[in-house]
Amino acid sequence: MMQMGGTPILVLSQNTNRESGRKVQVQNVLAAKAVSDVIRTCLGPRAMLKMLLDPMGGVVMTNDGNAILREITAQHPAAKTMIEISRTQDEEVGDGTTSVIVLAGELLHKSLPFLEENTHPTVIINGYRLALEDAINILHTEVSAPIDVDNSEEMLNIIMGCLRTKVMGSWGEKACQIALDAVKTVQCEVNGRAEIDIKRYAKVEKIPGGTIEDSRVLNGVMLNKDVVHSKMRRYIKNPRIMLLDCNLEYKKGESQTEIEVSREEDFTKILQLEEKYIQDICADIIKLKPDVVFTEKGVSDLAQHYLVKANITAVRRVRKTDNNRIARACGATVVNRVDELKEEDIGTKAGLFKIEKIGDEYFCFVVECESPKACTILLRGASKDILASVERSLQDAMCVARNVFLDPYLVPGGGAVEMAVSQRLMEKSKSITGITQKPYAAVAAALEVIPRTIIQNCGGDVIRSLTALRAKHATAGNISWGIDGATGQLVDMKNYGVWEPLAVKLQTYKTAVETAIMLLRIDDILSGIKKKEDAPQISHSQEPSEESMKE
């Protein structure tokens, strides 16, 4: 503060601005760390469960990081960013949602000493970026090992190893077999490259009742639909299937359409036109002699009459996604206009069409397909809660299988890969000169959070086990040694049989480091919320409350 001629003048120095930015960065780090601490106990086979209470009063118990964070409402922007990266990880590779949050939180925590020493965030970011590049290179060249995807036994072991952290019970092996069969079914080649779209073409149908052992993968498609007319056939072998995306009823006018009829003959003429239109549509369908017609729209009573006379079964109001699955399974083409139907649009690769009643509902099956590139996974279980838990585990299993098929390389699990990469980065940091050396070494130290957390969650001796693991990795040839998540003992993952897909680890490291970098680059939080009706105000949120960070 300076005073000239009795008027005080406020002088803002560069140090003041930097101090303000440092406070925001520290608060961001603390908010991100609070989110990380929430799900830290959900890592590893001995992970604790979280009980989630939804607004409708339902209760879900899970240790899936993404499922937990989806239900958390955070006020702080940095906490929201952490929750978002879990969702990104889940959409990209379907696994590692807990690991990415724990690692990102630890990377930010390791940056706190540098921020308190007034180290510029750009220096920390440069060290983190350099360490990420080297970590990716180490994963590709030194740690990963190729896998034969045609060996079903090895594939099942890999999927089982990745799902040991889930609450699977005795049906874990069954779930892994189902996931492997489903991924093999939907795998296809598009424009010379492999494509496995499990989200679109591997549909999970949950039907309460029966036992989990009754669950299976159908080599075709199942819909929660019945035929539109009671006299239509419900069991057809080798059906000719037609798929439509149009109405089999008279086209109705828009909301403002009005017709004024002054004579009775005119009304009769309108009815005749409608009947003629329906008759022509059905004639175009009947001339190709299909056995089953699926349409995404409605089927009028008159159209049902003509189709029943021609001994054709119809199913209406099928979802577009289900229609696309049927098209892939039986080789049909979805047609928008019946007058453009051709013989090659008919699907003939399905072996059986049938309607079955399961519980109180009717289900339509198009199964026994020759080479279906789409499938339905039929899940049975005692209750909806059990089925929801099974479905979450099954989705993770399918993602693991897909990742291995697309990128057939594995890395050892149980924290072995993190310790191996950490040890190599720590060695390389000694040869780095300049101010980026310490942030580079901080990334190496942060990677140890994964094995440390696994030891903590199974009740082991953290200091002794972690020191022994460091000593193992300091010796050449022990790259696959990690932590047995059940006992906390050191084991060789090659013999123990716990492996993880390389694609998941790459995505975890990239997402965690990039998120840490992004949050470190923020030096102010501005709010554009209007506080008065006449003029918008911009307020600085320098120090969020502790409640907003942990909410």
Residue of 98, 165, 295, 313 marked active site = 98
Residue of 41, 62, 81, 97 marked active site = 97
- Tell me which long-range contacts 524-528 makes (C-beta under 8 A, separation of at least 24): 524/20, 524/21, 524/24, 525/24, 525/77
HSE value, Cβ hemisphere, 13 Å, CA-based, for 497: 11
Return the amino acid letter for 412: P
Q: Is 245 a catalytic residue?
A: no
Q: Is 64 a catalytic residue?
A: yes
Contacts of 146 (CB under 8 A, 6+ apart): 408, 409, 410
Rounded Cα gap, residues 388 and 152, in angstroms: 27
Q: Is 396 a catalytic residue?
A: yes
| Three-state DSSP class for residue 434 | coil
Residue of 41, 62, 64, 453 marked active site = 64
HEC readout, 477-501 = CCCCEEECCCCCCEEEHHHHCCEEE
Report whether 452 contacts 99 (CB < 8 A).
no
CA distances from 190 to 198, 303, 406 (A): 15, 38, 13
Residue of 345, 396, 436, 453 marked active site = 396
CA R_g for the chain: 30
DSSP 272-299: HHHHHHHHHHHHHHHTT--SEEEESS-B
Q: Is 62 a catalytic residue?
A: no
Q: Go through 511-521 and write b for each residue having 16 or more CB atoms within 10 A of its CB, e for each that does not.
A: bbbebbbebbe
User: Of the candidates 408, 411, 398, which has an alpha carbon nearest to the alpha carbon of residue 196?
Assistant: 398
CA distances from 207 to 62, 170, 216, 380 (A): 21, 20, 12, 5
> Residues for the chain: how many in total?
551
Q: Residue 395 is encoded by which pair of tokens?
A: 């989705």
C-beta atoms surrounding 91 within 10 Å: 11
Identify each DSSP E strand in 426-512 by its residue range: 481-483, 490-492, 499-501
Q: Residue 179 is encoded by which pair of tokens?
A: 């996931």
| DSSP code at position 412 | E
**Euclidean distance between the first and the last CA atom of the chain, given in angstroms as a whole number:** 39
Identify each DSSP E strand in 347-480 by its residue range: 352-358, 361-367, 375-381, 409-412
Rounded Cα gap, residues 198 and 186, in angstroms: 7
Report whether 120 contacts 19 (CB < 8 A).
no
Sign, Cα dihedral of 199, 200, 206, 212: negative
Q: Which residues pair with 492 in a beta bridge?
A: 481
For the chain, helix (H) and strand (E) counts, in that order, are: 19, 24
Report whether 240 contacts 341 (CB < 8 A).
no
- Just list the catalytic residues: 64, 97-98, 396
